[in-house]
């Protein structure tokens, strides 16, 4: 029963993070087609406050679409998605409000090329939330410091390395104070030597209690940071397990096959 509280066998409440929080993002029986292609099939997924869920699976299995429907960047055909108890509507003000609660970081950093790093992080809160520029600037500087690029704030994105740009993209998403952060293969476009500096920022975020859904091929990160691994194949969630269970003892043949090809 996913709504039952996490209670250890001796009746003592389990540690407060690691999925013991209340449901924050809930997908119920979600289906999505692209034309004749059934890309999300009967998806049921509950992400609890403070939980880090890592989504893995072969290319084309529906991982990006899963992220995109949580933000309603793509509509769904059936089912429901709720963010902190509020169901995502098709459109309108309520959708805009709920979208702002979901931060998203993509493979491509998507920074505004002609704006400074500081402006990139300030603009969302000023334009979408009406924050005073002075307050937005203070928050942006704190966040740039937190992701380790405070000394780059006057530059343009093209003057930064890929790893730095992706860290700015994380700061920009955090500036909106989201309740949950979605990461869709955030390190896939990076040179190998820059992957860890981005994963380290994500690991810190997870330790600070951020609720996160992370699509990644970085299995080291999944082992280290995930509370739960979700394995997708052909639009379905085939397996959900703790990282220990998943990496040592995957139950489904498809997950076993996927893992064997990584080695």
249 makes contact, choosing from ligand ADP, Mg ion, none, with CB < 5 to 8 Å by partner type, with none
Contact 171, 163 (CB under 8 A): no
Residue 232's DSSP bridge partners are 237
Express the helix, strand and coil content of the chain in percent, nearest 5 each: 40, 25, 35
Smallest gap, in angstroms, from Cβ of residue 215 to ligand ADP?
7
Does residue 164 interact with ligand ADP by CB under 6 A?
no
Least distance CB 59 / ligand ADP (angstroms): 4
Q: Is 62 in the site for ligand ADP (CB under 6 A)?
A: yes
DSSP 59: T
Binding mask 22-61 for Mg ion (x = CB under 5 A): ----------------------------------------
Min dist CB 27 to ligand ADP, Å, is 14
- Residue 26: strand pairing partners: 46, 82
> CB of residue 259 vs ligand ADP: minimum separation in angstroms?
16
Sole window of 55-63, 134-142, 160-168, 190-198 interacting with ligand ADP (rule: CB under 6 A): 55-63
Provide the mask over 19-38, with x wherever binding to ligand ADP is found by CB under 6 A and - wherever it is not. Answer: ---------------x--x-
Strand ranges, E, within 84-154: 86-87, 102-105
Regarding 64 and contact with Mg ion (CB under 5 A), the answer is yes
Residue 143 found at the interface with ligand ADP (CB under 6 A): no
Between 64 and 211, name the residue whose CB sits nearer to Mg ion.
Answer: 64
Is position 60 an interface residue for ligand ADP (rule: CB under 6 A)? yes
Gap between the Cα atoms of 183 and 102, Å rounded: 11
C-beta of 127: minimal distance to ligand ADP in Å?
27
C-alpha–C-alpha distance, residues 80 and 83, integer Å: 10
Residue with nearest beta carbon to Mg ion = 64
Burial of residue 74 (number of CB atoms within 10 Å: 0-12, 13-18, 19+): middle
> Total residues at the site for Mg ion (CB under 5 A)?
2
Phi, psi for 81 (deg, rounded to 5): -130, 125
For position 187 contacting ligand ADP by CB under 6 A, the verdict is no
Three-state DSSP class for residue 197? helix
Angstrom CA distances, 47 to 123, 144, 181, stand at 29, 27, 11
- Is the separation of the CB atoms in 180 and 102 below 8 Å? yes
- Judged by the rule CB under 6 A, the positions of this chain that interact with ligand ADP are 34, 37, 39, 57, 59-65
């Amino acid at each position: 029963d996913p709504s039952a509280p996490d209670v250890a066998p001796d009746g003592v409440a389990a540690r407060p993070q690691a999925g013991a929080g209340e449901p924050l993002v809930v997908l119920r029986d979600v289906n999505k087609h692209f034309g004749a292609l059934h890309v999300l099939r009967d998806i049921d997924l509950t992400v609890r406050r403070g939980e880090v869920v890592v989504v893995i699976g072969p290319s084309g299995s529906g991982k990006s679409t899963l992220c995109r429907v949580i933000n309603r960047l793509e509509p769904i055909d059936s089912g429901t998605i709720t963010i902190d108890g509020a169901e995502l509507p098709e459109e309108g003000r309520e959708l805009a409000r709920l979208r702002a609660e979901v931060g998203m970081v993509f493979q491509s950093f998507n920074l505004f090329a002609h704006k400074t790093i500081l402006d990139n992080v300030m603009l969302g809160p000023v334009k979408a939330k009406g924050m005073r520029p002075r307050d937005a600037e203070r928050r942006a500087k704190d966040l740039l410091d937190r992701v380790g690029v405070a000394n780059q704030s006057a530059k343009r994105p093209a003057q930064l390395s890929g790893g730095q740009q992706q860290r700015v993209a994380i700061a920009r998403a955090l500036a909106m104070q989201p309740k949950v952060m979605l990461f869709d293969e955030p390190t896939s476009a990076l040179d190998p030597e820059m992957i860890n500096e981005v994963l380290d920022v994500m690991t810190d975020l997870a330790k600070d209690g951020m609720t996160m859904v992370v699509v990644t091929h970085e299995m080291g990160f999944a082992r280290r940071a995930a509370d739960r691994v979700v394995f997708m194949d052909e639009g379905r969630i085939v397996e959900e397990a703790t990282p220990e269970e998943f990496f040592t003892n995957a139950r489904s043949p498809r997950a076993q096959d996927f893992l064997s090809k990584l080695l």
